[in-house]
Amino acid sequence: MRIVFMGTPDFSVPVLEKLIAEHNVAAVYTRAPKVSGRGNRVNKTPIHLLAEKFGIEVRTPRTLKSEEEQVILRAYNADIAIVAAYGLLLPQAVLDMFPKGCINVHASLLPRWRGAAPIQRAVEAGDSESGISIMQMALALDAGDVLSQKAVPITSQTTGGDLHDALSATGADLLIDTLRRLDEIVPQKQDETLVTYAEKLDKAECRLDFNAPAEKLQAKIRAFSPYPATYFIYNGERFKVLGVETANMQGAAGEILESDGRLVIATADNALNILKIQREGKQPMATRDLLRGFKFEKGAKL
């Protein structure tokens, strides 16, 4: 098939790679490059870089609502549009543009976790599984008919990063299989009574509140690891927390109970032993290694 692909982050890369190997990708749409650093360095998205590697035309419009952009998009004469974590809304005119429609690779088992952060929210909520949904796109957020799904387990050790990578690979394989069977698949409507929403991640929620139960904090730490990462503040410095285990100890919430050999912090009902940590401007490391050269005061409150 002749395809227009729309995607932006690392999650989308395996999907595009599989499409390039099996189909004719006429053009790639991605978010515009960001300029940062002292030298005003242009940072292209992972999908932008991959498309350039294969000599595929790349477009980075700020919106797809303009008639001018829609004329350009229509001129590719694609059979279908494939969307995977693009980051821009597709207006109805674009959804109606392609003979075989627009198909989205979504990182949850719809109708659970529609929205911006399905991977982290699934881990944070303590779900036993997540998965990929290949769906026909509709104007409403992640509300289209489902073409295929595949579950991916979430264990007590799974981090948001682990689940991201597993779903990315699963999504690429499931999409290719779905496209091969596209004409024989009967789309299934979502059960609106089962809908949950994965709210966009807010930087404010990354700061750990040790007044919460240990189990809830542990789930959030796993969900947000390695990105955007939870943290606490000690003596004005931010410390990212990337791995923990529960410790059967009691104290006032936020109190440092141990700081020699291991770092144990009290929660509302138990305590957390911080296993992996990252100081500002430093690389992540095992907490025991940090404690060889850095001292937290026992009894201090976070």
The confidence score (pLDDT) of residue 41 equals 82
The confidence score (pLDDT) of residue 35 equals 82
The confidence score (pLDDT) of residue 34 equals 87
Q: Compute φ and ψ for 19, nearest 5 degrees.
A: -65, -40
Q: Quick one: which H or E segment has residue 2?
A: strand 2-7
Each residue's pLDDT expressed in tens, for the chain with a length of 302 residues? 999 999 999 999 999 999 999 999 999 999 999 887 777 788 999 999 999 999 999 999 999 999 999 999 999 999 999 999 999 999 999 999 999 999 999 999 999 999 999 999 999 999 999 999 999 999 999 999 999 999 999 999 999 999 999 999 999 999 999 999 999 999 999 999 999 999 999 999 999 999 999 999 999 999 999 999 999 999 999 999 999 999 999 999 999 999 999 999 999 999 999 999 999 999 999 999 999 999 999 999 99
In which region does residue 229 sit, left (phi positive, over 0), alpha (psi from -120 to 50) or beta (all else)? left
Residues in the chain: 302
**pTM of the entire predicted model:** 0.95
The confidence score (pLDDT) of residue 126 equals 97
Q: Quick one: which H or E segment has residue 123?
A: helix 118-124
Contact indicator for 292, 263 with CB cutoff of 8 Å: no
